[in-house]
Amino acid sequence: MVSIREVGPRDGLQNEAPVPTDAKVRLLDALSATGVRRIEAVSFVHPRAIPQMADADEVWARARKAGGVRYSALVPNPRGAERALAAGFTELEVVVSASDTHNRRNLNRSTEESLAGLTDLIKMVHEAGATVEVIVATSFGCPYEGDVPPARVAGIVERVLGDGADRIAFGDTTGMATPRRVRELLAAVGQVPLLLHFHDTRGTGLANILTALELGVTEFDASVGGLGGCPYAPGASGNVATEEVVHMLHDMGVDTGIDLEKLLEAAALAEQITGRELPSGVLRAGPRTRLTPQ
Amino acid sequence: MVSIREVGPRDGLQNEAPVPTDAKVRLLDALSATGVRRIEAVSFVHPRAIPQMADADEVWARARKAGGVRYSALVPNPRGAERALAAGFTELEVVVSASDTHNRRNLNRSTEESLAGLTDLIKMVHEAGATVEVIVATSFGCPYEGDVPPARVAGIVERVLGDGADRIAFGDTTGMATPRRVRELLAAVGQVPLLLHFHDTRGTGLANILTALELGVTEFDASVGGLGGCPYAPGASGNVATEEVVHMLHDMGVDTGIDLEKLLEAAALAEQITGRELPSGVLRAGPRTRLTPQ
C-alpha cells in the first residue's frame, strides 16, 4: 500500500493562472470521490503574495469533506496557522528551503531564521491539537546553488524533529532529483516519517518514485493532471501527474485506494478548469489497459 | 558504459510531418558530432508507404560518416535490404510484431508470415557481409490485443536467433511498458544480445530504463528531443528523449560517450527542423547542473 497525497488543489492551482472559487470546489469534490486518502486542499497565505489562494476560506467552507480523507493546508507563518486552525484543519504544512539562497528568494530570510521561527509555530499548532509537517524544499538541489549536500538536509530534519515536527517531506522544487540523488539523500537521513514530493521537469519523476519505493518509502505527493506547471516558467513541467503515479503503481500490484477512472475524470476537469493541455501522459493516452478498437 | 542508439533521424522523423532532405542531413551530421556511437540513419521503405523516408538514398549519400559511429538502416523486406546494402549499410534492422493483430495492421500479414520471410532475408544480408537486428514490436503490449505474453515474445526471439539474427530489440511500440513488464519480459527471455526501445507515452520511459539497467541491459534506443511524437495521434508522446536518458545516466555516473551540451544543440536543431515544441524536459529546462543566475 502506497499513500498518495493529492496536491493539485493547492500546489497545483497555486502555480496556474487563477481560477474561480467554484472551479476549485468542484475539483476538490471530484478528487475527494476518487478514493485518494489525503488531499492538500488550500494554503493560508497573504492574498497579495499569492492571489490564487485568496479564497482559501471560502473554498474550504464549501468543499465536501469526505470520510476517510485526510485534508491538509499549507501555512507560511503563525498568522496562516491560526487561519488554518480556525478553519478546522488538523494537518498543517510549513516550508523551509534546504538552500539558503532559495529560502531568501522564496521567504525573504535565511534558512536559519526560518528554522528558528518553526519552534514556536510547531508548539502553537500542537497546543491546538493539530500536527505539523515540515516540507524541506530544494532537498534534491537548488536552482541557484546547485547540489545541496544530503548532510545539510539531514541536519534540518534532525532539528525540526527535535522541535516536534510530526512528519517530514522532501520537495524536489525545480525537478533536480534523480535516482542517484534519491538514494544519497535517503541514505543520509535514515528512518524518519517521510513523504517525497517529485517534479517531472527532466523526465525522472517516476524513476525517482520507483527508486524510493525500493528503499521503503511509501508516501508520495502527486498532482492531478500534473497541475502546477508554473506558467511563469514556460515549458517547465511541474508536479508528477497523479494518474501516471497511480497507473505505474497499480500495474506493479501496489494498491493506492484510488479509482484510476475517477481520477482521470478529475484530471479532465482540471484541464477544463485551467483551459490548458495538462502534461499527463496517462490523461492523454489513457491507461495501458485501454485498448484501441480493431 | 551504456550504448545509446540515436533513432531520431529515422524513427523520429518518420513519425513527424515530412522535412526537407537538407534538414535531415544537418540533423544527422549534428548527431554524428555528439559522441554517440550508434545512429539509426534512415529506412529503405516504399515512398508511397512512408513519404518521410523517400529521400533515404540522398540523405545517406550526403551525410558525413563519422569514425567510431555505427550507422544502421531499417528495411521492411528484401527489396529494402538490397537498397540498404547497395547504399553501404552493414547493420540492418527488420521489424516483426509480437502481436498478430498489430503485425497485420502494420505489415498486412500475420506474425507467422513475417517470421517465415525473415529466414531468407537474414541469409541474404549475411551473404552480403552485413548483420541483421530483429526488432520485436509490441513486446510490452499491443494497443489492439492488450498484454502480450512474455512467453510469446521469448518464442519469437528463440526462432529468429535460430535463423541467425545477430541482435534483438524489443519495441515498446505504443508506450505500454512499465517496470513490471520489463522485469517479466527479461525474465522470460534470458540472456540474449538485447537492445530496448522505450516510449514515454505514459511517463514510465526512464523508470523502464532504470529497471532494465538494474537487470543488466546496456543498450537502449532514444530519440533526440523525443522526436517521433506521431503527429497522427495528437498529444501522444513517442520515443524517450535522448537528452533525458543521457542526463539521468551521466548523473548516475554511467558513461555514454555523448557530450550532453552538443546533444542539446542537436535537439534544438530538431525542434527548429520540425517547427514544433518537442517533448524533452532536459531540452526545456536544461540539465540540473545548469544554474539560474542569482
- Report ipTM (2 d.p.): 0.96
- Contact of A5 with chain B, judged by CB distance below 8 Å, is answered with no
Q: B33-48 burial, b if ≥16 CB within 10 A, otherwise e?
A: bbbbbbbbbbbbbeee
**Residue from B164, B157, B173 nearest B132 by CA:** B164
> Is the confidence at residue B189, as pLDDT, over 90?
yes
- Contact of B131 with chain A, judged by CB distance below 8 Å, is answered with no
pLDDT in tens, B49-66: 899 999 999 999 999 999
> What's the mean pLDDT in B60-83?
97
- The per-residue pLDDT for B106 is 87
Instruction: Note whether B34 and B68 are within 8 A (CB).
Output: no
- The per-residue pLDDT for B237 is 65
pLDDT in tens, A17-56: 999 999 999 999 999 999 999 999 999 999 998 999 999 9
pLDDT in tens, A61-80: 999 999 999 999 999 999 99
Percent of all residues in chain A with a pLDDT value above 90, rounded to a whole number = 92
Instruction: Report the C-alpha gap between A260 and A270 in whole angstroms.
Output: 15
> Is the confidence at residue A267, as pLDDT, over 80?
yes
Instruction: Report the C-alpha gap between A135 and A93 in whole angstroms.
Output: 7
Query: Which chain B positions have a beta carbon within 8 Å of A209's beta carbon?
Result: 207
Considering only CA atoms, give the Rg of chain A: 18
pLDDT in tens, A98-152: 999 999 998 899 999 999 999 999 999 999 999 999 999 999 999 999 999 999 9
Label residue A155 exposed, middle or buried (CB < 10 Å: 0-12, 13-18, 19+). Answer: middle
Catalytic residue among B230, B259, B281, B287: B230
Helix (H) or strand (E) holding A10: none
> What's the mean pLDDT in B25-47?
97
> Helix, strand, coil: what percent of chain A each, to 5?
45, 15, 40
pLDDT in tens, B136-150: 999 999 999 999 999
- The per-residue pLDDT for A226 is 96
Alpha helices in chain B (DSSP H): 13-14, 21-32, 56-62, 78-86, 100-107, 111-127, 150-162, 179-189, 205-214, 242-251, 260-274, 281-285
- Contact of B179 with chain A, judged by CB distance below 8 Å, is answered with yes
> Is the confidence at residue A235, as pLDDT, over 70?
no
Q: If DSSP codes are grouped into helix, strand and coil, which group holds residue A170?
A: strand
Domains and CATH numbers, chain B: 3-285 (3.20.20.70)
Residues 237-256 of B with CB under 8 A from A: 237, 240-241, 244, 247-248, 251-253
> Is the confidence at residue B44, as pLDDT, over 90?
yes
> Is the confidence at residue B203, as pLDDT, over 90?
yes
Instruction: Report the C-alpha gap between A179 and A193 in whole angstroms.
Output: 20
Helix (H) or strand (E) holding B133: strand B131-137
B26/chain A closest Cα distance in angstroms: 26
> Which of B97, B204, B254, B291 should be substituted to probe chain A, the one whose Cβ sees the most A Cβ atoms within 10 Å?
B204
CA angle A39, A279, B175 (to 5 degrees): 110
Q: Among A22-26, A121-125, A227-231, B155-159, name the one with the lowest average pLDDT.
A: A227-231
- The per-residue pLDDT for B230 is 61
> Is the confidence at residue B235, as pLDDT, over 90?
no
Alpha helices in A97-142 (DSSP H): 100-107, 111-127
Concatenate the DSSP letters of all residues of B179-212 into one string: HHHHHHHHHHH-S--EEEE-B-TTS-HHHHHHHH
Residue with cell 527489396: B79
pLDDT in tens, A50-60: 999 999 999 99
B63/chain A closest Cα distance in angstroms: 31
Q: Is the dihedral of CA A128, A131, A133, A134 positive or negative?
A: positive
Does the annotation mark B230 as catalytic?
yes
